[in-house]
Amino acid sequence: MLKTRPYLETDKQAINSLAIEAFSQYMSHYNDWELIKSVVGNIASLAGISNLIVAELNNTVVGAVALVHPGMDMNENIDPSWASIRMLVVSPDHRSKGIGKQLTTECIKTASENGFKTIGLFTSPIMEVALPMYLRLGFEKVRDIEPICGVDYSLYKLEI
């Protein structure tokens, strides 16, 4: 049975490896995969500025996401008054089971419980599953942002 829970320090290696595995399908799209890999492979570093949420299936880590608190996301595209969703990753072996949706819904719930009014995120059209899911959950496109390592991205937000 799938469950979500807060990140534990003992999850560090599992979620960092999972993030690289999850993003590897996009390797050929980025013009600097090694840079992307170094950022993605350090998802656990977000634990200090976010609610880092882990998805487990049969005691195996199969997904993770960070809900970064308002004012803590240093990305210039995220308004400082917004919370932000960063690094939603799901194991390629466990996709199409609603794990990404459950993790995102958990972020929205946590944001609401903490009184956060807006959640921002940035994503790319190459993320053919994540982008439509965010739109179905009510995120709206704000604007296009600078490409990241040659990949087009846009900023989205959800008013809670």
Q: Which of 11, 21, 20 is nearest to 38 (CA)?
A: 20
Q: According to the model, what pLDDT value does residue 95 have? A: 87
Which residues, including other chains, have CB under 8 Å from residue 27's CB and lie 6 or more apart? 33
Q: What is the CATH number of the domain that holds 69?
A: 3.40.630.30
pLDDT tens for each residue of 77-128? 999 999 999 999 999 999 888 999 999 999 999 999 999 999 999 999 999 9
Q: According to the model, what pLDDT value does residue 1 have? A: 84
What pTM did the predictor assign? 0.94
Determine the Cα–Cα distance for residues 138 and 66; give it in Å rounded to an integer: 18
Determine the Cα–Cα distance for residues 157 and 160; give it in Å rounded to an integer: 10
Q: According to the model, what pLDDT value does residue 138 have? A: 97
pLDDT tens for each residue of 28-59? 999 999 999 999 999 999 999 999 999 999 99
Whether residue 25 is predicted with pLDDT greater than 90 in this model: the reply is yes
What is the domain range of residue 152?
Answer: 2-159
In contact, 86 and 72? CB cutoff 8 Å: no
Identity of the residue numbered 9: E
Q: What are the start-end ranges of the E strands in 69-150?
A: 83-90, 118-123, 140-148
Taking residues 10-25, what's their average pLDDT?
96
Strands 118-123 and 83-90: parallel
Whether residue 145 is predicted with pLDDT greater than 90 in this model: the reply is yes
Q: According to the model, what pLDDT value does residue 96 have? A: 85
Domain count, the chain: 1
157 alpha-carbon distance from chain centroid: 13
Tell me the β-bridge partners of 55: 4, 63
